[in-house]
């Protein structure tokens, strides 16, 4: 078991870093969604779908 870990520690480290990056990206997206922030980050006035993602509530 220790031989396998010694031979593959670089792969384990890279996989752990990728998993951590994906975790923090997803967590950030969830926090932004809960805070009502837009996910595109663009200017809504020039967007063709501005009425779809930021529609006003019906009265």
pLDDT tens per residue across span 6-57: 999 999 999 999 999 999 999 998 998 888 776 666 666 667 766 676 555 5
What integer pLDDT is reported at residue 33 of this predicted model?
82
Whether 3 shows a pLDDT value over 70: the answer reads: yes
Rounded CA separation 21/14 (Å): 11
Buried b (16+ CB within 10 A) or exposed e, 13-38: eeeeeeeeeeeeeeeeeeeeeeeeee
| 3-state SS assignment for residue 35 | coil
């Amino acid at each position: 078991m220790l031989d396998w870990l010694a031979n593959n520690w670089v792969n384990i480290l890279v996989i752990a870093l990728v998993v951590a990056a994906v975790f923090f990206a997803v967590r950030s997206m969830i926090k932004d969604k809960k805070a009502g922030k837009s996910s595109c980050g663009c200017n809504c006035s020039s967007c063709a779908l501005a009425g779809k993602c930021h529609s006003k509530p019906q009265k």
